[in-house]
Structure 1
Amino acid sequence: MTELPEKARAVIIGGGVSGCSLAYHLAKLGWRDVVLLERKQLTSGTTWHAAGLVGQLRGSQNMTRLAKYSVDLYARLEDETGVATGLRQNGSISVALTGERREELLRQASLARAFGVEVEEIGVGDLKVMYPHLNADGVVAAVHLPKDGQCDPANIAMALARGARAGGVRIAEGIRVSAVHQRDGRVTGVAWAAEDGSEGRIESDIVVNCAGMWARELGRMSGVSIPLHACEHFYLVTEPVEGLGRLPVLRVPDECAYYKEDAGKMMLGAFEPRAKPWGMDGIPEDFCFDQLPEDFAHFEPILEKAVHRMPLMAEAGIHTFFNGPESFTPDDRYYLGEAPELRGYWIAAGYNSIGIVSSGGAGFALAQWLEDGEPPFDLWEVDIRRAEPFMSNRAYLRERVSETLGLLYADHFPYRQPATARGVRRSPVHEHLKVRGAVFGETAGWERANWFAAEGEPREYRYSWKRQNWFGNSRAEHIAVRTGVGLFDMSSFGKIRVEGRDACAFLDRLCGNRIDVEPGRIVYTQMLNARGGVESDLTVTRLSEAAFLLVVPAATLRRDLAWLRRHLDSERHVAITDVTAGEAVLSLMGPKAREVLAACSPDDFSNDAHPFGHMREIEIGYGLARAHRVTYVGELGWEIYVSADMAAHVFEALEEAGGPHGLKLCGLHALDSCRIEKAFRHFGHDITDEDHVLEAGLSFAVKPDKGDFIGRDAVLRKHEAGLERRLVQFRLTDPEPLLFHGEPIVRDGAIVGYLTSGNYGHALGGAVGLGYVPCPGESAKELLASGYEIEIAGERFPAEASLRPIYDPKAERVRM
């Protein structure tokens, strides 16, 4: 008879490296009554056969911070626990075989310098010295990260488990969680069944799903969506190779391959372009330390290239050919955080073949999140709330994860769009846009027109780190918005109705700006956390005394709904409803927008009748709509909100009325290039829950004198103490280079930060970016007195810096 406690502060489900890391870090925080339940044996799912590569550089500062933390943790675990972790910081080398990959590697090297990761660019001669077994034919660039390395994944997990036990965590193997109990929308505990036939229940208001490739099915039992699925992952290990020696980890992404020397043998692993999903009908109940059937034909194209790249592979015998499952997500990023569907249900899963280097830091971050009630820093990149419920559809996952595994080693081009599982969510005018040349991108499943191809042009992306094939098209759209009039389909906006007797007081408590305004007013605001960080960036339109419309980015709708519901007191009379699908949004922007509206509506759109920041109901064509006078491009304009059933008609009316005025259909690329010229912030890049609203330059949207609201104390403290850093706009004086995000900011010769976003400013004649610059105790004048450069792929370019929008700094054009 298995004996387990009847109550626990937290129950962790899953004994891979992720679950063991969380248990270890909770124990370090003094959580003693924690239970970890493993259905079979520790590490028996994916951890035991992981490759164990430890690469510190990730695509963002915080993901790099977590990876570096993992390396530091694994370096000290052996001394702490007595379990050998096999960590060797023997470095890593990535090589480029094409000019495009060279650009990517050099941009990554610049990013590493901005993040404080040791990096060096090496020539072919040095490469041959460091990796003498490599055939360097075709190599055009190489980058070396000396602090990277490799480890023993199973022993890492065992060391973490031993550390957790030493801290008081109860770890039980052979225990399957049969149910997660809930009441009134929150977790109350789990039911368990042991291999010896005994059963029981543990009461707890915190349950953490660390179940790896089982996480999706486990979540589904509780109504929680966790979109991930397993794919087959292949590698082979040679027989011992005489004289192999200690070598860095080698990545050759242009050949989809990585190489790791271990105990005198060579491992060759692959991230092939199209993967093989596995377990679509369910993972066998008895799966434990198992491997999948060999498929040498699938792996053979990788091996053929490897024999050329690493000639020793032709002579060495194959000791092991391994095929094992690993879980992948639709966007190649793992999941962390509390499920929006169920309070107290937390997730740490879906590591996309980087679970070993991620789990140390992820366990630390999630433990802090549980301890403090908020993440230790911005984790939106991996937040479970970014995932849409439909993404758990098995047909969708089968298609998408077969692509995302291969994208790990594909060229990481800017603006790259997924090719599989497309067309899930479409606006009411999707087909109208399609026949007019729209080339679509995807966000949160929405098909959105990113740019419009001219007649006869291919309606497809041709990716590059330089100007892509749509650059000129988007420039024309951009200039049309600046000089004439453009029409955007923004139906993917998240739309939330908050209504009821207490709706105004509820929103005034959550928002930094004053919400208690007269009906018809539009308020730009942020919802803040207790640290003054930005949890949501939105507009709030007061529709009536008791009804408000919140408009948020498509990508953050689930996050914003969860934040609202989390703070809804059961005593308040407030209803929160997602109405996104009910209305289309057609955004008419540019100096001629008023003339176009006047041609299809009898209403008065003058400044006196319809000033900026106001909403009113209008007639348009034969239909009815609401016209919101706001802008995200910095020009005169209106967002037209119209019910989905009338959207196509209103689109046709606007298009016909706009013909004589040169109306141009515009995509999201032009929207973004316009907004960055105006230094409008983009949530998730320029503003996050880690960025103080005042340092982000949004003091105009915060009203401390209105009364209490979440984050008010942090705003007042920052007012008193002064700003530690400021968000600055940069424009390159050289019109040729391109900015995307992540490029280092160089102040008077030293790297001081990096760009949070970037695009090309067609009206300003150069690339434009935003980024934070440290400035403790400095005035604005002192900050701007320095010389600034932006580093791109190792080369530095002079930049103009400004705290005001370089384009239309007085915002005169939006009030024309």
Structure 2
Amino acid sequence: MSRIPDRARAVVIGGGVSGCSVAYHLAKAGWTDVVLLERKQLTCGTTWHAAGLIGQLRGSQNMTRLAKYSADLYVKLEAETGVATGMRQVGSISVALTKERHEELLRQATVARIFDVEVHEISPAEVKARYPHLEVGDVVGAVALPLDGQCDPANIAMALAKGARMRGAGIFEGVKVTRVTTAGGRVSGVDYEGAEGPGHIAADVVINCGGMWGRDLAAQNGVTLPLHACEHFYLVTEPIDGLCQLPVLRVPDECAYYKQDAGKMMLGAFEPKAKPWGMEGIREDFCFDTLPEDFDHFQPILEAAMHRMPLFQSAGIHTFFNGPESFTPDDRYYLGEAPEVKGYWIAAGYNSIGIVSSGGAGMALAHWITEGEPPFDLWEVDIRRAQPFQKNRRYLKERVTETLGLLYADHFPYRQVVTARGVRRSPIHEHLKARGAVFGEVAGWERANWFADPGQEREYRYSWKRQNWFDNQKAEHMAVRTGVGLFDMTSFGKIRVEGPGALAFLNRISSAQMDVEPGRIVYTMFLNERGGIEADLTVTRLSETAFLAVVPGATLTRNLAWMRANLGDDFAVITDVTAAESVLCVMGPKSRELLSKVSPNDFGNASHPFGTAREIEIGLGLARAHRVTYVGELGWELYVSADQTAHVFEALEEAGAEVGLKLCGLHTLDSCRIEKAYRHWGHDITDEDHVLEAGLGFTVSRKKPAFLGREAVLRKQEAGLSRRMVQFRLEDPEPLLFHNEAVVRDGRIVGPVTSGNYGHFLGGAVGMGYVPCAGQSEAEVLGSTYEIEVAGVRHRAVASLVPMHDPKSERVRG
């Protein structure tokens, strides 16, 4: 293309490595009428100054798949396009200076083995042999990944751009998109300013790959894209005599990475407190620009490096570089279609891993756009996890001071962010705080994770072993199993669906039968065409034409988007009513006794059976009591209007003194649900996990003539399962399970632990994970020997296909 067309199937905004990858992969998928518009020159924002590290191992299987795809692509690109990419698989070494960091590295090595990434655990002496310049006297241990590498970031982008052009895409520099245009709730194209004046391109799809400019561009259309630029520093030495090719080196305990290139050494940093940049916007002429030096800010990193690698004491500094990069509130980038505008897609916010991520991200997004679904579960980076309030610039500025440094911080389980907290609170937040609550944050919600005893510090002391709240969790857990506990679950997402078409709509997108009597609660799935689980929720029929769907707080935006995208012609109104009601969960064998003290209503099985909801009097007010549970005990979720929540809590607390009521946190909710083998969406079940293989076939009504995913369920039922969800308990009561430990069957790793916690009632760590079972009976699956690998050590495990706690749900229905 020599001139900008007035029509294209897709317009990509931004000519960094992300935009070039999206254009390349769309063209490769057969969309030849793709246009990429770059405001200045390709790579001129962040890509040109990226360090170009290619680390294949990420925190999960699918993120690792994307990184491995990038590495493989960059090796092949040069032969395909003739553009040298500088891709060299020099390997990488990560060293630990503490026992805790070594534990983390050993756990990462287990993850690598699960995901088939070559990894070697090496001693300090072996580190010294591979990296002679390194001081290893205080090194505890290390891991090496021989297929990691480094590349030339700008040339990677240029190669992708050339590959896109070779397949028919048009790439235009010096063309600034001024607005994404819309009509009828979906994109219609883009307006732009170019050398020849303003213009418009009509388009079906627009992809915002605008990097640090992307947030403000998205905001023009009401699209939430929470990211903020930070200053990112590195220095490059003068040439050093005798410097040979070395692996990439990471010393996370000193916030530093090292790379040898062209006889020079690069030292880069992810310092604990970063410097946000661009709060007043980015100037119009920003192009291949650097930011002012701040040597005082970088000096602690350099001083540590001079000890770690003494050659820095004598080597001259060739370049001290400071350039901006985009960071997000949770250190994960954004992919997917914005829920606010149909056809508005996003690939941005790469948190300094844009080079290794963009190859795979471009592939995944192009597949999603052209095929109508992602190639596999991408929830970790799905734009639909972003909360609308997160576009607040003060919030972003505060949060990214922390998230940059978290890249190299210890990735302890249960680690909590400390910046930009307190945005969303329950009406009883201060009540819980006064009673010892230690809060965590999910989707902006402050949630009590555990309760400190009187005189106990209200802080996390992080460890890979038992943390300082372990005994607090045990006391809460046992109260739920033997007495009664109260959880504040106000963070639940609450969606009201009403209108004459509400029943037909919900029946079409739900796996279970929704045509039940008012007051019935239905546990159901939203399935996709593959039988994968898009949502796991309860739906309560409030009246003939009104329903309440309850979903996890973290997935509310995603679930709303799914429902609205599938509404079709059904006459129903979908409303987010999350803030209108609080949820107080009263759970345990004594929950009926407690509720009877604060309410005149009858809570017996005959009057209020499991799976029903009704209005009750409580204290001086009213609530709607739902008899359901996520902890595997007799219990009720009390839905209380926000204005009455504090009163209801106080009434329960006062009456609870007689029955031993215990305030409980989210850590206990999780440990109880794992004992009961209740699944958690995003860990145990995702949109690529088939509902039957997840063990949730009981939520599927085969009698309904039509619902989304029905055919996939019937096909799987006919063909048989290829894997099954299994619950495990370690025989040794000492080790802990969190997530991504290896499931070992008859001596061979078969997959990851999808979620784990300590089963205080069962007496050991409990986890769940999928096990291959093609052509095998239940007896054959259970007849194997199972172990769980934790940080390289294998521990014998008991396996079960039914919940180890209350397998017949007699306690739940008692």
Q: Where on the TM-score scale, by shorter chain, does this alignment land: which range?
A: over 0.9
The code of the aligned residue for 2:496 comes to: R
Matched, 1:180 2:180: yes
Task: Kindly indicate whether residue 483 of structure 2 is the aligned counterpart of residue 480 of structure 1.
Answer: no
Aligned-partner residue type, residue 328 of structure 2: T
| Matching residue's letter, 1:131 | Y
Counterpart in the other structure of 2:326: 327
C-alpha contact 1:526 1:534 (8 A) present in aligned 2: yes
3-state SS of paired residue (1:80):
helix
Work out whether residues 504 and 570 of structure 2, in 8 Å CA contact, stay in contact via their aligned partners in 1: no
Name 1:88's counterpart in structure 2: 88
Deviations 1:120-142 (A, max 9, x none): 00111111110000010210011
1:98-146, CA deviations, whole angstroms, 9 ceiling, x for partnerless residues? 0100100000001100010000001111111100000102100110000
Aligned positions of 1:183-332 closer than 5 A? 183-194=183-194, 196-332=195-331
Deviation per CA, 1:64-106, whole angstroms, max 9, x where unpaired? 0000000000000000000000001010000000010010000
Contact persistence 1:232–1:277 (CA under 8 A): yes
User: Deviations along 1:483-525, whole A, 9 cap, x unmatched?
Assistant: 0000000000000000000100100000001111000000000
Q: Provide the secondary structure at the position in 1 that maps to 2:446.
A: strand
Amino acid at match of 1:724: S
Which of the residues 717, 731, 734 maps onto 1:733?
731
Q: Is the 1:742–1:754 contact (alpha carbons within 8 Å) kept by the matching residues of 2?
A: yes
Whole-Å Cα distance in 2 between the matches of residues 686 and 572 of structure 1?
A: 32
Answering whether residue 339 of structure 2 is matched by residue 340 of structure 1, we say yes
Question: Secondary structure at the residue paired with 2:802?
Answer: coil
Deviation at 1:544, TM superposition (A): 0.3
1:761 equivalent to 2:759? Answer yes
Residue 479 of structure 1 aligns to a residue in which SS?
Answer: helix
Q: Take 2:735 and 2:174, find their aligned partners in 1: how far apart are those partners?
A: 58
Q: CA deviation at 1:184?
A: 1.5
In the TM superposition, 1:574-723 aligns within 5 A as 574-723=572-721
CA-CA distance at 1:4 after TM superposition: 1.2
Report the 3-state secondary structure (helix = DSSP H, G, I; strand = E; otherwise coil) of the residue aligned with 2:574. Answer: strand
Deviations 1:139-165 (A, max 9, x none): 001100000010000000000000000
2:658 aligned counterpart, secondary structure: helix
Measure the CA separation in 2 of the matches of 1:388 and 1:740.
26
Using the alignment, how far apart are the partners of 2:179 and 2:151 within structure 1? 35
Deviation (angstroms), 1:572: 2.2
What does residue 809 of structure 1 align with?
A: 807
**Equivalent residue of 2:657, what SS?**
helix
Equivalent residue for 2:385?
A: 386
Q: How far apart are the structure 1 equivalents of 2:528 and 2:704?
A: 17
Match of 2:136 in 1: 136
**Partner Cα distance (2:439, 2:421) in 1:** 10
Residue type of the alignment partner of 2:46: T
C-alpha separation in 2, matches of 1:504 and 1:460: 47
Name the CA distance, whole Å, in 1 between partners of 2:269 and 2:529. Answer: 45
Q: 2:749 maps to which residue?
A: 751
What amino acid maps onto 2:142 in structure 1? Answer: A
CA distance in 1: counterparts of 2:196 and 2:423, whole angstroms? 44
- Which position in structure 2 is the counterpart of 1:165? 165
Letter in 2 for 1:803: L
1:808 alignment partner, SS class: coil
Shift of 1:3: 3.3
Kindly indicate whether the alpha-carbon contact (under 8 Å) linking 1:741 and 1:757 is maintained by their aligned counterparts in 2.
yes
SS in 2 for 1:108: helix
Equivalent residue letter for 1:497: R
Structure 2 CA distance, aligned partners of 1:795 and 1:593? 41
For 2:783 and 2:3, the matched residues in 1 are separated by 68
Out of 571, 574, 589, the position equivalent to 1:573 is 571
Q: Within 2, Cα distance between the matches of 1:318 and 1:779?
A: 66
- For residues 346 and 619 of structure 2, the distance between their equivalents in structure 1, rounded to whole angstroms, comes to 49
Q: Which amino acid aligns with 2:800?
A: S
Structure 1 stretches of at least 4 aligned residues deviating more than 3 Å after TM superposition = none
Counterpart code for 2:128: K
- For 1:783, the aligned partner's letter is V
The one-letter code matched in structure 2 to 1:121 is E
Q: CA deviation at 1:2?
A: 8.8
Hey, what does 2:457 align to over in structure 1? Answer: 458
Aligned to 2:359: 360
Match of 1:28 in 2: 28
Q: Report SS of the residue matched to 1:535.
A: strand
1-structure distance, mates of 2:793, 2:128? 25
Distance 2:212 2:631 in 1: 43
Match of 2:440 in 1: 441
2:210 partner letter = A
2:412 matched residue in structure 1: 413
SS in 1 for 2:754: strand
State the distance in 2 between where 1:342 and 1:381 align: 21
Tell me what 1:470 maps to.
469
Shift of residue 205, structure 1, vs aligned partner: 1.8
Alignment partner, residue 351 of structure 1 = 350
Name the SS for the 1:206 alignment partner: strand
Alignment deviations for residues 14-73 of structure 1 (CA, whole Å, 9 cap, x no partner): 000000001111111111110000000000000000000000000000000000000000
Give the superposition deviation at 1:715: 0.1
User: Matches of 1:597 and 1:506 in 2, distance apart?
Assistant: 35
CA distance in 2, matches of 1:222, 1:510: 28
Tell me how large the CA RMSD over aligned residues is.
Answer: 0.8
1:372 aligns with 2:377: no
- Given the two structures, how large is their TM-score scaled by the length of structure 1? 0.99
Task: Output the TM-score relative to the length of structure 2.
Answer: 1.00
Q: Deviations over 1:404-453 (max 9, x none)?
A: 00000000000000000000000011111010000000000000000000
Structure 1 portions without partners, runs of 5+: none
For residues 233-259 of structure 1, give each alpha carbon's deviation from its aligned partner in whole angstroms, at most 9, with x where no partner exists.
Answer: 000000001111000000000000000
User: Quick check: 1:725–1:773 contact (8 Å CA) kept in 2?
Assistant: yes
Per-residue Cα deviation, 1:734-785 (whole angstroms, up to 9, x for no partner): 0000000000100000101110100000000000000011111111110110
Which residue matches 1:504? 503
Structure 2 CA distance, aligned partners of 1:317 and 1:31? 50
Task: Measure, in 2, the Cα distance between the counterparts of 1:724 and 1:292.
Answer: 54
The one-letter code sitting in structure 1 at the alignment partner of 2:685 is I
Shift in Å, 1:197: 4.5
Q: Tell me, yes or no, if the aligned pair for 1:2 and 1:198 is still in contact at 8 Å.
A: no
Give me the whole-angstrom Cα distance separating, in 2, the residues matched to 1:369 and 1:564: 18
| Secondary structure, aligned partner of 1:814 | coil
Match of 2:77 in 1: 77
- Residues 348 and 362 of structure 1 are in contact (CA less than 8 Å); yes or no, is this contact kept in structure 2? yes
| Residues in 1 aligned to 2:357 and 2:177: alpha-carbon distance in whole angstroms | 25
- Secondary structure (helix, strand or coil) at the match of 1:705 reads coil
